A and B are shown apart, each in its own frame.
Chain A
Amino acid sequence: MLRLPQFQVATPTTLAEAVDLLQRNSPGARLISGGTDILPNLKHFLDQPGLLVSLARVAELRRIDRDDRAGRLVLGAGLTLAEIAQHPDVRAYFPSLAKSAGLVAAPTIRNMATLGGNINLDTRCRYVNQTELWRGGIGGGCLKSEGQVCHVVPTGRRCVAAMSSDNVPVLISLGATIHLHGPAGQRALPLADYFHADGLRHTHAAPGEITAAISVPLPTSPRRCDYIKWSVRQSIDFPLVSVALRFDLDADRSDAAITDVSVVAGVLGAKPREVNKLDELVVGRSFADPSVAQIVSEAAYSQCKPLPNVPYDPAYRREMIRVLTRRAIAAMV
């Protein structure tokens, strides 16, 4: 049995009220939405907030709006992952997102966990997500828990716990924007710019800022997209290899020319990695050209370097990035 530390729970009904509660009780207040990420972490005593501010009753976070004039789908941060995976607009316009949302953990978790919670999923590491007793056994934790050293990169001074969200790489590949509400008002930024490479604080959310929504631009050209997740049990567990793929084409045929490409990998360090220089390598080529799968998978392999921060040998996971990327592209043609 794992006890939770003692805390109070607040259940605001508006975003403004939630922002205010966070600010008035800071530090020491944390957000809870579905609870499937924060509660296991609290049960492991990785944090002891005095107050949990619940977003479960904030109705404005549960909207889903397709704005054809602005050409975007706006997904409220409070939608559950099951709702995202099943929504007709998500399935029609962003099948890779429906797939990634439907691959998170297990059906029970997807009925509880929310999009906002998954975007802000705490970074994970085999040395962090353990009981307090276990962490004591390796000499008292690490940079991210109660210790002073990193067990993954012993000379490292920056935490390399892995960004393990299934949906973040996909949303970045689709050019999503994150909408934040905070004490200083509202702002929006590209989701690709929301993360940074420090496992202790891996997002650019300012103190008291709450993720209100994610907007995703509707496709303006024919598109092929997919999400690759490899994990040991294929259910319940976090991804160990995670790659999102998007190819925009100039016609709705598999031998059409590629006009834009995005490949984003997760579960490396604290920040998702956008595989770069792909434009010059494959834009203009026919999507049916077998060299596309080869070029993209080799670029992903050379730029993505898994660490021993999550289970399974990093060399094997790196090889799987190459193999699974190549196979996924070949299967899309």
Chain B
Amino acid sequence: MSQSSAILLSLTLNGEPVQVAAPAHWTLLEVLRYKLDLIGSKQGCDKGDCGACTVQIDGLPALACLTLAALADGRSVTTVEALGCGPVVHPLLDAFDRHDAAQCGFCTPGILMAAESLLRRSARPVTRHEAASALAGNLCRCTGYTKILDAVVDASERLRAEHDDGR
């Protein structure tokens, strides 16, 4: 690696400012996994077909495997690790647990990030169809999707109920 092709990135990563140096031709996924040890985002097909690397960039789900790290500079990146850091279990994680929505688990981080973005942007509980549309870029080869959709709809209803209770 020649010195000149390294770049210095400044990101807001899971709410915290982060600076990291990386080769200019690395993807965001490579920087997350191999520089920052955030291995929740998975390297599946690595070419945009499977959605296992889904993260949120400025709040919208995007594929870390097709985002050049250099172009994520200055942006806000949220990975699945952020969901596990709250004081209480996130309703989406709780619902995935109760519905057995993860089997091998490889697709789960990407699905959680796509689903979280949908739930956060929806003013009312989401329908099954809306959940399926939002997750249309995430492949799961174990579950057949039924339990995943059950969990996302359930989490959305609980989030809404919590919101209405003013909690």
Given contact pairs A1-B43, A108-B114, A56 touches B5 in the complex (Cβ within 8 A): no
Q: Is there a chain B Cβ closer than 8 Å to A106's Cβ?
A: yes
A43 engages B24 (CB within 8 Å): no
Q: Is there a chain B Cβ closer than 8 Å to A284's Cβ?
A: no
Residues in chain B near residue A236, CB distance under 8 A: 49, 51, 136-137, 139
Tell me, in angstroms, the Cα distance from A7 to B68 when the chains sit together: 11
Residues in chain A near residue B120, CB distance under 8 A: none
Given contact pairs A6-B25, A109-B48, A235 touches B43 in the complex (Cβ within 8 A): no
Q: How many residues of B contact A (CB 8 A)?
A: 35
Q: Is there a chain A Cβ closer than 8 Å to B39's Cβ?
A: no
Near B by CB (< 8 A), chain A positions 1-46 give: 1-2, 4-9, 11, 32, 34-36, 39-40, 43-44
Q: Is there a chain A Cβ closer than 8 Å to B47's Cβ?
A: yes
B133 engages A107 (CB within 8 Å): yes
Tell me, in angstroms, the Cα distance from A324 to B7 when the chains sit together: 50
Q: Which residue of B lies closest to A33 (CB)?
A: B71
A112 engages B5 (CB within 8 Å): no
A235 engages B137 (CB within 8 Å): yes
Q: Which residue of A lies closest to B58 (CB)?
A: A111
Contact with A along B36-59 (1 / 0, CB 8 A): 000000010011110100100100
Q: How many residues of A contact B (CB 8 A)?
A: 30
A4 engages B137 (CB within 8 Å): no
Q: Is there a chain A Cβ closer than 8 Å to B32's Cβ?
A: no
Q: How far is the CB of A18 from chain B (nearest CB, A)?
A: 14
Q: Is there a chain B Cβ closer than 8 Å to A54's Cβ?
A: yes
A43 engages B133 (CB within 8 Å): no
Q: Is there a chain B Cβ closer than 8 Å to A159's Cβ?
A: no
Q: Is there a chain B Cβ closer than 8 Å to A105's Cβ?
A: yes
B68 engages A52 (CB within 8 Å): yes
Given contact pairs A6-B25, A107-B137, A108-B62, A43 touches B68 in the complex (Cβ within 8 A): no
Tell me, in angstroms, the Cα distance from A105 to B50 when the chains sit together: 11
Contact with B along A99-122 (1 / 0, CB 8 A): 000000111110110000000000
Tell me, in angstroms, the Cα distance from A43 to B66 when the chains sit together: 10
Q: Which residue of B lies closest to A40 (CB)?
A: B47
Name B's interface SS: mixed
Tell me, in angstroms, the Cα distance from A11 to B60 when the chains sit together: 22
Near A by CB (< 8 A), chain B positions 1-46 give: 1, 4-5, 7, 23-27, 43, 46
Tell me, in angstroms, the Cα distance from A112 to B133 when the chains sit together: 17
Tell me, in angstroms, the Cα distance from A191 to B67 when the chains sit together: 29
A39 engages B136 (CB within 8 Å): no
A2 engages B24 (CB within 8 Å): no
Given contact pairs A43-B47, A106-B136, A4 touches B27 in the complex (Cβ within 8 A): yes
Residues in chain A near residue B136, CB distance under 8 A: 106-107, 235-236
Residues in chain A near residue B48, CB distance under 8 A: 36, 39-40, 105, 109
Tell me, in angstroms, the Cα distance from A52 to B4 when the chains sit together: 15
Q: Which residue of A lies closest to B135 (CB)?
A: A107
Q: Which residue of A lies closest to B54 (CB)?
A: A108
Residues in chain A near residue B46, CB distance under 8 A: 1-2, 43
Q: Is there a chain A Cβ closer than 8 Å to B61's Cβ?
A: yes
Q: Is there a chain A Cβ closer than 8 Å to B63's Cβ?
A: yes
Residues in chain B near residue A32, CB distance under 8 A: 68, 71
A36 engages B26 (CB within 8 Å): no
Which 6 pairs show the lowest CB-CB distances between chains A and B?
Answer: A106-B137, A235-B136, A40-B47, A9-B70, A108-B137, A2-B46
Q: B residues touching A (Cβ–Cβ < 8 Å)? A: 1, 4-5, 7, 23-27, 43, 46-49, 51, 54, 57, 60-63, 65-68, 70-71, 73, 114, 133-134, 136-139
What are 21 pairs between A and B in contact, CB < 8 Å? Answer: A1-B43, A4-B27, A6-B25, A9-B24, A32-B68, A34-B66, A35-B71, A39-B47, A39-B48, A40-B47, A54-B70, A105-B48, A106-B51, A107-B114, A107-B133, A107-B134, A108-B114, A109-B63, A109-B137, A111-B61, A236-B51
Given contacts A2-B47, A9-B7, A108-B138, 19 further A-B contacts (CB under 8 A): A2-B46, A4-B26, A4-B27, A9-B71, A11-B71, A11-B73, A35-B66, A39-B48, A39-B65, A39-B66, A82-B60, A106-B136, A108-B114, A109-B63, A109-B66, A111-B62, A112-B63, A112-B66, A112-B67
Q: A residues touching B (Cβ–Cβ < 8 Å)? A: 1-2, 4-9, 11, 32, 34-36, 39-40, 43-44, 52, 54, 56, 82, 105-109, 111-112, 235-236
